[in-house]
Amino acid sequence: MPMIKKCLFPAAGYGTRFLPATKAMPKEMLPILNKPLIQYGVEEAMEAGMTNIGMVTGRGKRALEDHFDVSYELEHQISGTSKEKYLADIRKIIGECTFSYTRQTEMKGLGHAILTGETLIGREPFGVILADDLCVGDGLSVLAQMARIYAKYRCSVVAIEEVPQDEVHKYGVIAGSELEDGVYVVSNMVEKPAPEEAPSNLAIIGRYILTPDIFDVIRATPPGRNGEIQITDALQTQAVKNMVLAYRFKGKRFDCGSVEGFVEAINHFYQHWKEVEG
């Protein structure tokens, strides 16, 4: 029995960096080859044993729900043809996972989006995936690597990677002491610091394991950077009260919320696809 069964996908953001593509379509539905970002995310959660999927959506995001549902007309149309294989993966996901949804009615930040998901999670530890960060784990999926760290230390875990100094202002950045190879005890966390204020170049990316006390902490967290309720600020409180670990994951991450990262991801997956199919 996996220790963590639930995974939350905050997916209510506007995706302004990808306008106009995201004007009427969720950014999580942007495809890398023939698969939308959200499906890569759900597959990663499944690999970590988390088959109870919760999504925080918003206006204009209904395509996410439809994607993880059966389309009877389509199924009927392609039944018995060679095209059935294209739906095999998504059918497996629908068969093995449960999906629940709630809406964030005002976009008050990632911390607020996670708090909105409390109704889907309850009082148990859970994974969080930001599907626009597409991760390819080295051997094990990134969330599965993090679940192992959680199993050992039983506290919140954030995934980090080294970024160039001139990019730290885009991320939450941590300071910490190394506990074991690639695992840091967080002593400080700053959301989108100026390069001279950044405590390191270890940036938090879109993967978290959170303990459920985070909900009360977020409730007590005032708006921070950009007037939004920041998960980084809540985690900083958790780090002071208890312990938060930062984990330098093994693998690659593509920032598919930006055009550059999106193109890099497509090239990466296309290379792999050519080796398999071509």
Instruction: State which residue, 55 or 146, has the beta carbon closest to ligand UTP.
Output: 55
* Least separation in angstroms between CB 126 and ligand UTP: 15
Contact 229, 108 (CB under 8 A): yes
- Residue sitting closest to ligand UTP (CB): 13
How far, in Å, are 43, 177, 235, 246 from residue 242 at the CA level? 31, 15, 10, 14
Instruction: State which residue, 56 or 198, has the beta carbon closest to ligand UTP.
Output: 56
Per DSSP, the three-state class of 251 is strand
Instruction: State which residue, 56 or 159, has the beta carbon closest to ligand UTP.
Output: 56
Burial group, residue 212, by CB count within 10 angstroms (0-12, 13-18, 19+): middle
Task: Write the secondary structure of 125-148 as one string of H (helix), E (strand) and C (coil).
Answer: CEEEECCCEEEEECCCCHHHHHHH
Question: What is the distance between the alpha carbons of residues 59 and 10, in angstroms, rounded to a whole number?
Answer: 13
* Least separation in angstroms between CB 59 and ligand UTP: 12
Contact residues for ligand UTP, defined by CB under 6 A: 10-18, 56, 104, 107-110, 112-113, 130, 132, 257
* Least separation in angstroms between CB 276 and ligand UTP: 29
* Least separation in angstroms between CB 117 and ligand UTP: 9
Instruction: State which residue, 100 or 187, has the beta carbon closest to ligand UTP.
Output: 100
